[in-house]
């Protein structure tokens, strides 16, 4: 993928202008609603920096050996760091490995590029160790931090990075799959009869979608894993790749689960708005207004507001090591519909 393939965004244009002038920063923080999209931008930046046939304005060709290696995660001068271990954090050992690599001279390319995916998952020790590299970066190196939750990153790290935002908060709500699922959920909510059975139907709709997401993520990330490309590897390296794959699947699943529940929370916000007079223009999902209005007629504004608190609390609990199905069950049973 090249910069020219991205929708027109000020952040992409700024990167290209900086490349053209040779005035890139040594560290960037890319934030946005879609971590996968941020990875694509970071990968395109890495390809453009080291492209053997760089276009004008600066862009990757996507066909030279360097671009192909970066796309295949096999370029020795581009390193990716992702949350790993059972706690799904980025550890100090990972950051030490990155920092050691970044201080070496490039093997084949002009620039060393280090990409930290989900930088909000840096544990305190890793974050503090990383600060020295941010303060005294090696020459011909670029560090790119990616996050959907910049508020969880240390201010001392943010202050040492150039921050670029890709897409607004509501960009994720234009996703067709999310809107279609919310339509199914809202139809089921309209049929809610106040019985325990009907509430468990809602839970079933949610768990089914989460199962589909987990299956899709597992398939996509497994296909991209080096485990699928290399059969004859040392046992220790295979074990490392297997651990990284498990951690990557869990991290991506948690991200997409959070997006799904955030979408549900914003639909419940629409329901709350529809308990108030003349707020139709403020709806996040106007295409679901009819179902939302039906639910809004059955509950009070305070009850609708309480639903938002329940979803927020459920999201917070899921961020810790709680049992997912039980947490979601308790949360849905508390909703006033």
Q: Give the Å distances, CA to CA, from 15 to 25, 140, 166, 207, 258.
A: 10, 16, 12, 40, 29
CA atoms within 13 A on the CB side of 317: 16
Average pLDDT over residues 205-224: 92
Query: Given the structure tokens 């049929």, which residue do they identify?
Result: 191
CA quadruple 269, 272, 276, 278: dihedral positive or negative? positive
Average pLDDT over residues 62-74: 89
User: Under 8 Å CB-to-CB from 106, ≥6 apart: which residues?
Assistant: 77, 112, 140
Percent of residues, the chain, with pLDDT higher than 90:
32
Q: Per the structure block, which two tokens stand in for 46?
A: 């890495």
Average pLDDT over residues 30-50: 89
Residue 248 binned pLDDT confidence (cut-offs 50, 70, 90): confident
Average pLDDT over residues 52-61: 84
Residue 288 binned pLDDT confidence (cut-offs 50, 70, 90): very high
Start-end of CATH 3.40.50.300 domains in the chain: 3-167
Distance of CA 274 to the CA centre of its chain: 30
- The pLDDT, as a whole number, for residue 214 is 94
Closest CA to 259 of 198, 330, 170: 170
Reported as a single tens digit per residue, the pLDDT across 142-201 is 999 999 888 788 888 988 888 888 865 555 666 788 999 999 999 999 987 777 888 899
Reported as a single tens digit per residue, the pLDDT across 103-128 is 888 888 888 999 999 999 898 888 88
Q: How open is the CA angle 24-122-144, to the nearest 5 degrees?
A: 15
Residue 312 binned pLDDT confidence (cut-offs 50, 70, 90): confident
**Nearest 10 degrees: Cα torsion 252, 257, 260, 265:** -130
CA atoms within 13 A on the CB side of 68: 3
User: Under 8 Å CB-to-CB from 135, ≥6 apart: which residues?
Assistant: 160
Closest CA to 109 of 72, 63, 67, 56: 67
CATH assignment, 3-167: 3.40.50.300
DSSP secondary-structure letter at 24?
Answer: -
Residue 86 binned pLDDT confidence (cut-offs 50, 70, 90): low
């Amino acid at each position: 993928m090249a910069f020219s393939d991205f929708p027109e965004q000020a952040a992409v244009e700024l990167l290209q202008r900086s490349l053209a002038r040779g005035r890139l920063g040594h560290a960037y923080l890319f934030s946005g609603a879609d971590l996968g999209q941020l990875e694509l931008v970071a990968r395109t930046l890495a390809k453009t920096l080291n492209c053997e046939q760089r276009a004008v304005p600066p862009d990757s060709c996507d066909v030279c050996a360097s671009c192909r290696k970066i796309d295949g995660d096999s370029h020795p001068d581009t390193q990716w760091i992702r949350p790993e271990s059972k706690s799904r954090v980025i550890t100090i050992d990972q950051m030490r490995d990155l920092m050691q690599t970044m201080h070496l001279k490039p093997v084949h390319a002009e620039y060393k590029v280090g990409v930290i995916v989900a930088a909000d998952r840096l544990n305190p020790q890793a974050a503090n160790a990383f600060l020295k590299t941010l303060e005294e970066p090696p020459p011909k190196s670029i560090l790119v931090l990616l996050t959907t939750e910049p508020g969880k990153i240390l201010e001392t790290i943010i202050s040492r990075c150039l921050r670029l935002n890709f897409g607004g908060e509501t960009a994720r709500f234009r996703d067709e799959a999310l809107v279609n699922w919310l339509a199914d959920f809202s139809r089921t909510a309209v049929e809610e009869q106040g019985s325990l059975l009907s509430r468990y139907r809602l839970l079933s709709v949610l768990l089914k979608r989460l199962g589909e997401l987990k299956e899709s993520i597992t398939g996509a990330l497994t296909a991209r894993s080096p485990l699928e490309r290399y059969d004859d590897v040392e046992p220790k390296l295979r074990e490392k790749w297997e651990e990284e794959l498990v951690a990557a699947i869990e991290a991506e699943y948690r991200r997409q689960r959070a997006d799904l529940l955030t979408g549900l929370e914003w639909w419940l916000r629409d329901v709350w708005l529809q308990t108030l007079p003349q707020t139709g223009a403020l709806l996040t999902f106007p295409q679901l207004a009819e179902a939302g209005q039906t639910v809004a007629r059955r509950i009070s504004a305070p009850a609708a507001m309480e639903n938002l608190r329940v979803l927020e609390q459920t999201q917070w609990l899921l961020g810790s090591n709680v049992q997912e199905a039980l947490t979601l069950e308790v949360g849905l049973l508390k909703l006033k519909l």
